[in-house]
Amino acid sequence: MDLEIGTQGFKRVDVSLESFLSRISTGKAVLFTGAGFSLNTKNLNGKEPPLAKGLAREIAKLGKMEPSDNLMYVSDYYLSYKSKPDLLNLLKNNFVLNEVSDDHISICSIPWKRSYTTNYDNAIELSNRKNGRNIESLCTDDNPNDYIHIGDICLHINGKIENSTVEHLESNIKLSNSSYISADCFTSSNWFYHFKRDLESCTALVFVGYSLYDLDIQKFLFDNQSIKERTYFITRKDATHEETYFLGKFGHVLAIGVDGFGNLIQDNKSTILDQQHEDYTESLVKYENTFDDINIRDAEVERFILHGDIKKSHIDKAISIAQSIPYLINRNYVQEICDLLISEGNNVALVSELGNGKSIILKSVVANLTKNGIDTFTLEDDGGDYLSDLDVLSKISKRIVVAVDDYDKYIELIKHFDNTKPANINLIITSRTSEHERHRHEFSKFESKFLEISIDILKKDEVEFFTSIIDNIGIWGDIANWSTERKTNHLIRKHHSQLSLILLDLFNSPYIVDKVKKITNVLFSNFKYKDTAFGIALIETVGLEAKSSLISEISLNNEIYDGKLTNNPSFRELFKIENNVASSKSSLFSLSLIKNYFSANYIVEQLLLIARHLNSESGRSYEENRIFKALLKFSFIERLLPEQNRKNNLSKYYENLKISAPWLKTSPHFWVQFGMSRLPYKDFKKAQDYFDQAYSFAENKNDYHTENIDTQQARLYILQCLDANDPVESMKYFQAADDLLNSLNDDVYKFRQVIKYKDVYINKFFNFSSKQKVAFEHSCKNFRSAVERASKVGKISINDEKTITKVIESLDFIIKDIQVKR
């Protein structure tokens, strides 16, 4: 069903009403209303609310001023010299509505994902109440994090009059020349990021009663074909050629008016409701196996190795038949995890360090389960109501597995699962080791138990298969002529069988470096493109999905919405853009890109600009907050910077970070991080000064535990022990470290410092007195026993095993060597 829409004097354009109705019936469409939406409503005066010029004349009359159509001038003068309560009363009489039309009620009868309006009036709220639905009425000053997940929201971009007070006249309520305030006011608000998120995930963006004069639309609708296809403008029936022509550049135009739109919904209500299936899910999407007969090409394998980008069909194929061209390591964990989920009915948490393949293993598990007849759902839309989705799936009478990658973003889903305990659902979730550790305390409270599996280490047969992959695509470089056995042993020995370390070595090979250099030299000649590439790489290194909305925030520009960039051949060599996501999804490649292809000075300056921007955001999203926290962390910043002159660049970064975010000057955590940045360079005096700062500020904070400072202070003492030439001074530092560590609770952070005891033994033990040697041996034995006790009572997690193994190896070496030489 098509509708011919147009105005006098130009070609008509067909709009598919079937497609339009389908899009707005999903519950994921966004409504955006302008001044024309309020036609045929009645305010407390029994009239339609005035437009900008009419309002200006009424305010001028109230203030006994010269008549004027200039709302900005009239309102500013009135607020400066006249009675504010009288102005508020006038506004309420004009913009608090007590009557809306059947068309408004019809338009608001369907479930919109979110509503935005430029209007001061309560037309949307009243229309929803007429439908028996309450909707949260908000302004841009409200914190989006408090409301963004509750669903029924109407954001008044220029402020709202209903329930406003005199204080709101110069804060929430924005009076200007236009019925729509300057676009910059909205684009600089905390809500604009969430609006961009809505653009990415909505099935339709529908403007009703929107005027060309409402806003410079180009400020927030971008040169993006995907967005244009989902954007609709409902304009008045007699809209001019100029209006419809311009709006047509940004989407479909339906010149049917508010009444025509209301009638369209009313006439098709049964069709719309039929699409609201009881088992419909927004965020949790059922996985379906797909197969094709086309073999993977070498270029695709290389892209997979470099970017982590692989077609769904290739994963499905790899888990089903032997690979004639090697490209995907079928990890031994996959079948083990499937058995744990299905045969034994467990929930599973996969954890790994950066770049060790947890996401690919998760995809392989999902493909394997689906192949074997298990309905498996993956979390695809983080903006949807995934809690309700879980409830929907819990009512289906069959076994279901729900897969959640990087679950730490969806911790509420895990809590909801634990509270509701759906008998037919098992979860498989993934996380980076550090994030999982952060949530360990919460997991200990759950009744639903999760078996933790660390997938960092490749088995020998998996390393051998990886060797065959690299053999086939020919990127070994100067070791290409080695035997398979020698290459395999080299990867095991040099990179400890960790996929991330193997891949980082490949990224640094001359073949890859030369290839990427040619691409970046072209792309980075445009500074905004360079900033955008850096933003994407930073987001992926943090471990987040690089959606366009987040990219624009972190890149500090909107180039990601420009087709000139996304269609740029050099850009597409580095990043794949699909559904408004830069889906290279290779955090390792992104780390390599930052470290090897941006100068250290650029990295420092750009990180500081991003930190300053995020620090100014009062309602940071989960993603923005996670990036901001990463920018404070020494280990993260150190990883990004090239080794050359790293010491000075770290110092420059932290010195300026406290200027970008002044509150850090009194943060104990900041001074700990700053101190840690001095330790690798033996700048012990500065490190001690910064740790002293941290202790001082910690004293003034209620319930601030100093364990983090203590472990780093102990580390500093040990390094000073190793550096000291005087045996007495060396022992003094060791004793200080040992006493401090013994005063702390048994955990991996404390035990990690004990690894250095082996260096103390090798380099300093022979200069200790007999009494000191006995005390040293006694301390090592005590720590060895403490590690065993901590493991037995569950204080050592699977994430800590590598560290604890090193601790045990160091202590066992010391204890045995002392016994042998005694």
212, pLDDT greater than 90 = no
pLDDT digits (tens, 9 = 90+) for 410-469: 998 999 999 899 999 999 999 988 888 888 778 888 888 899 898 888 899 999 998 998
Q: What is the DSSP letter of 297?
A: P
**pLDDT higher at 514 or 608:** 608
Question: Locate tokens 């009915």: which residue?
Answer: 345
Task: Give strand pairing partners of 376.
Answer: 401
**Rounded to 10 degrees, what is the CA torsion of 159, 161, 165, 168?**
20
**DSSP 8-state assignment for residue 295:** P
Strand 450-454 with 13-16, pairing: unpaired
pLDDT at 337 (0 to 100): 93
Q: Tell me the mean pLDDT in the region 475-488.
A: 85
Which is it for the CA torsion 230, 235, 241, 246, positive or negative?
negative
Give the contacts of 213 (CB within 8 A, at least 6 positions apart): 178, 179, 180
Count of CB atoms situated within 10 Å of the CB of 397: 5
pLDDT band at 14 (very low <50, low <70, confident <90, very high): low
* More reliable by pLDDT, 256 or 479: 256
- Kindly provide the b/e burial profile for residues 718-747, where b requires at least 16 CB atoms within 10 angstroms of the residue's own CB: bbbbbebeeeeebbebbbbbbebbeebeee
CA dist 689 and 702 (Å) reads: 22
The whole-angstrom separation of Cα 726 and Cα 214 is 76
Q: Residues with Cβ < 8 Å from 86, sequence gap 6 or more?
A: 62
**Amino acid, res. 662:** P
For 557-651, strand residue ranges (E) read 577-578, 581-582
d(CA 466, CA 363): 18
What are the tens digits of pLDDT across the range 290-301? 866 677 888 888
pLDDT of residue 179: 38
Confidence of residue 184 (pLDDT cuts 50, 70, 90): low
Confidence of residue 8 (pLDDT cuts 50, 70, 90): very low
Tens digits of residue pLDDT in 672-696: 999 999 999 999 999 999 999 999 9
Mean predicted confidence (pLDDT) in 365-380: 92
Residues whose CB is less than 8 angstroms from the CB of residue 255 and which lie 6 or more positions away in sequence, other chains included: 5, 6, 7, 235, 236, 237, 238, 239, 244
Find the mean pLDDT for residues 609-629: 88
Q: Please, what's the b/e burial string for 47-70 (b: 16 or more CB within 10 A of its CB; e: otherwise)? A: ebbbbbeebbbbbbebbebeeeee
Mean pLDDT to the nearest integer, 517-527: 93
| Per-residue pLDDT, 238 | 84
Structure tokens at 77: 């003068």
Six-digit token string for 708: 């983090």
Token digits of residue 700:
């003034």
For 697, the token pair is 């500020």
Q: Which of 100, 131, 130, 132 is nearest to 33 (CA)?
A: 100
Q: Is 227 helix (H, G, I), strand (E, B) or coil?
A: helix
User: Is the pLDDT confidence value at 786 over 60?
Assistant: yes
pLDDT at 344 over 90: no
pLDDT band at 9 (very low <50, low <70, confident <90, very high): very low
Q: CA-to-CA distance for 267 and 269, rounded, in angstroms?
A: 6
Q: What is the pLDDT of residue 353?
A: 85
Q: Which residue has the higher pLDDT, 275 or 92?
A: 92
Is residue 319 within 8 A of residue 371, CB to CB? The reply is yes
Q: At what angle do helices 770-792 and 757-764 cross, to 10 degrees?
A: 160
Mean pLDDT of 378-399: 86
Mean pLDDT of the 620-645 span: 91
Give me the pLDDT at residue 123, please. Answer: 96
Count of residues making up the chain: 822
Top-confidence residue, 374 or 306: 374
| DSSP for 416-433, written as a single string | HHHHH--TTEEEEEEEEH
Structure confidence at residue 395 as a pLDDT band (50, 70, 90):
confident
**Which residue, 109, 126, 116, 39, is CA-closest to 262?**
109
Rounded CA gap, 222 and 239, in Å? 23
Phi then psi for residue 233, to 5 deg, are -115, 120
Q: Which of 35-49, 266-280, 365-379, 470-484 has the lowest mean pLDDT?
A: 266-280
Cβ(479)–Cβ(490) under 8 Å? yes
The number of beta carbons lying within 10 Å of the beta carbon of residue 387 is 17
Q: Is the pLDDT of residue 213 over 70?
A: no
Band (12; pLDDT cuts 50, 70, 90): very low
Rg (CA), the chain: 31
pLDDT in tens, 529-546: 999 999 999 999 998 889
How high is the pLDDT of residue 11? 39
Q: How far apart are CA 291 and CA 312, in angstroms?
A: 9
- Residue 507 CA, chain-centre distance (Å), reads 25
CB atoms closer than 10 angstroms to residue 549: 24
How high is the mean pLDDT of the chain?
87
* Cα–Cα distance for residue pair 390/419, rounded to 1 Å: 12
The whole-number pLDDT of residue 176 equals: 53
10 Å Cβ neighbour count for 683? 16
Mean pLDDT to the nearest integer, 796-809:
82
Look up tokens 């809590």; give the residue.
415
Structure tokens at 66: 């010269």
Asked if residue 466 lies in contact with residue 357, where contact means CB atoms within 8 angstroms, the answer is no
Does the pLDDT at position 4 exceed 50? Answer: no
Measuring CA to CA, which residue among 507, 578, 502 is closest to residue 312?
A: 578
pLDDT score, position 599:
95
* Residue among 355, 712, 281, 327 nearest 505 (CA): 355
Instruction: Kindly compute the dihedral angle of the four CA atoms of residues 117, 119, 122, 126, in this order, to the nearest 10 degrees.
Output: -50
Three-class secondary structure of residue 116 per DSSP: strand
Q: In what order do the strands lie in the sheet with 252-254?
A: 136-139, 153-156, 114-117, 30-33, 205-208, 231-234, 252-254
Percent of the chain residues past pLDDT 90, beyond the cut: 47
DSSP labels for 502-514?
Answer: HHHHHHTSHHHHH
Place of tokens 């929430």: 172
- CA–CA distance, 406 with 688 (Å, rounded to integer): 36
> Does pLDDT of 660 surpass 60?
yes
Q: Choose the most confident range, by mean pLDDT, from 137-146, 310-319, 779-788.
A: 779-788
Residue with tokens 């890109």: 593
Q: State pLDDT tens for residues 97-106.
A: 999 999 999 9
How sure is the predictor about 218, in pLDDT bands with cuts at 50, 70 and 90?
Answer: low
**Structure-token pair, residue 221:** 């609708």
Where helices occur in 664-769 by DSSP H, the ranges are 668-676, 684-699, 707-723, 727-742, 748-754, 757-764
Percent of the chain at pLDDT > 70 equals 93
What residues contact 370, with CB distance under 8 A and at least 6 apart? Answer: 287, 288, 289, 376
Q: Residue range 17-25: average pLDDT?
A: 87
Average pLDDT over residues 82-93: 92
Q: 490 exposed, middle or buried (CB, 10 Å; 0-12, 13-18, 19+)?
A: middle
Nearest 5°: phi and psi at 17?
Answer: -70, -30
The pLDDT of residue 208 is above 80:
yes
Are the C-beta atoms of 109 and 148 separated by less than 8 Å?
A: no
Q: What share of the chain is helix, strand, coil (3-state, %, to 5)?
A: 60, 10, 35
